[in-house]
Amino acid sequence: MKDELLGIHHVTAMTDNALRNYTFFTEVLGMRLVKKTVNQDDIHTYHTFFADDVGSPGTDMTFFDFPNIPKGIPGTNSISRTGLRVPDDAALDYYLKRFKEFDVKNEGIQELFGKKVLPFEEADGQRYQLFSDENNKGVAPGIPWKNGPVPENKAIYGLGPVEITVSYFEDFKKMLTDVYRMKPIREEENVTLLEVGKGGNGGQVILRNDDSTSARQGYGQVHHVSFRVKDHEMIKQWEAKYDKMGIQHSGIVDRFYFEALYTRVGHILIELSTDGPGFMGDEPYETLGESLSLPPFLEPKREEIEAQIRPFDTTRS
């Protein structure tokens, strides 16, 4: 199908401490900081991107640094857990030991939809789970960080299934199937596993039904999820599709590293993002993420921005 989504592009969450979050992602999880930039809608706060070795689409977990917002409260009507992919079951065993070493709160290795998973939390309560790619087929993973602290054959190398929990389960599922052409592949009581594109761990959504108290946005919560589209031509087609279906949207926004199109489905902010141009165009591979990267339209404000954001050192080379 021409307008089929290719998989998950990125997940953006909120932190109250960019340095602590950077340390956790690079030193504990072993993901690479591929871009240290600013939130283009709030230029005096950081936006950091953690991904695979080269910042491939479908591998990046990104964070808005909001130092003064309240802590979020988990609940329904939220993106409730982010998946991260590892190569196999042995990698889950490796991370279980690593989490013990670094005192990372986790729920032990479990099974979900026939796959082995390891749910865990960041210090601020942000919820994740590692998915084993042991028997996985579908959307290709990225490239493990070559100079990271985790061996390449164990390391996180992509985003896994994203969990969304809502109180309007059937309506939300209808949007995912009718608008985004996601296919339900497993149905259990109060939960459906859907997939898009080539499917597998890099193209799945876990939709849960929960009519309890709604989550409250804040640090430790997810801000939005983004799905992959091929290029400018495809995102233009999606903009036209939204218009035709009467779906309100942001219009196409040029984020420099990719183009984006936003809409809200109930409480959930859904972004579509192009696969390119990517994160390798403005910094050398060797020093990705080490200095403050600004898109060209913000470069004239560099002095003002650098004077207002709290500097933190990400030099590794």
Query: In order of start, what are the domains of the chain with their CATH numbers?
Result: 8-308 (3.10.180.10)
How many Cβ atoms are within 10 Å of 148's Cβ, its own excluded?
A: 19
**Residue 151: is it exposed, middle or buried by C-beta count within 10 angstroms (0-12/13-18/19+)?**
exposed
φ, ψ (nearest 5 deg) of residue 287: -120, 25
Spatial neighbors of 82 by CB under 8 A, at least 6 apart, are: 11, 13, 61, 126, 127, 128, 129, 159, 160, 162, 163, 222
Structure tokens at 129: 């789970």
Question: Which residues, including other chains, have CB under 8 Å from residue 287's CB and lie 6 or more apart?
Answer: 317
Q: Is 227 exposed, middle or buried (0-12, 13-18, 19+ CB in 10 A)?
A: buried
The pLDDT mean for the chain works out to: 97
Question: Exposed, middle or buried, 75 (CB in 10 Å: 0-12/13-18/19+)?
Answer: middle
Q: Which residue is listed with tokens 């609940």? A: 75
> What tens digit of pLDDT does each residue of 204-243 get?
999 999 999 999 999 999 999 999 999 999 999 999 999 9
Does 67 have pLDDT greater than 90? no
Q: Which pLDDT score is estimated for 268? A: 98
Residues 286-300, mean pLDDT to the nearest whole number: 97
232 neighbors 274 (Cβ within 8 angstroms): yes
Tell me what pLDDT residue 227 has: 98
Angle (CA) 95-99-105 rounded to 5° is 125
Query: What pLDDT score does 260 carry?
Result: 98
Q: Which two tokens stand for residue 306?
A: 């650098």
Element (H, E) at 121: strand 115-121
pLDDT higher than threshold 80 for residue 25: yes
Q: Which residues pair with 106 in a beta bridge?
A: 120
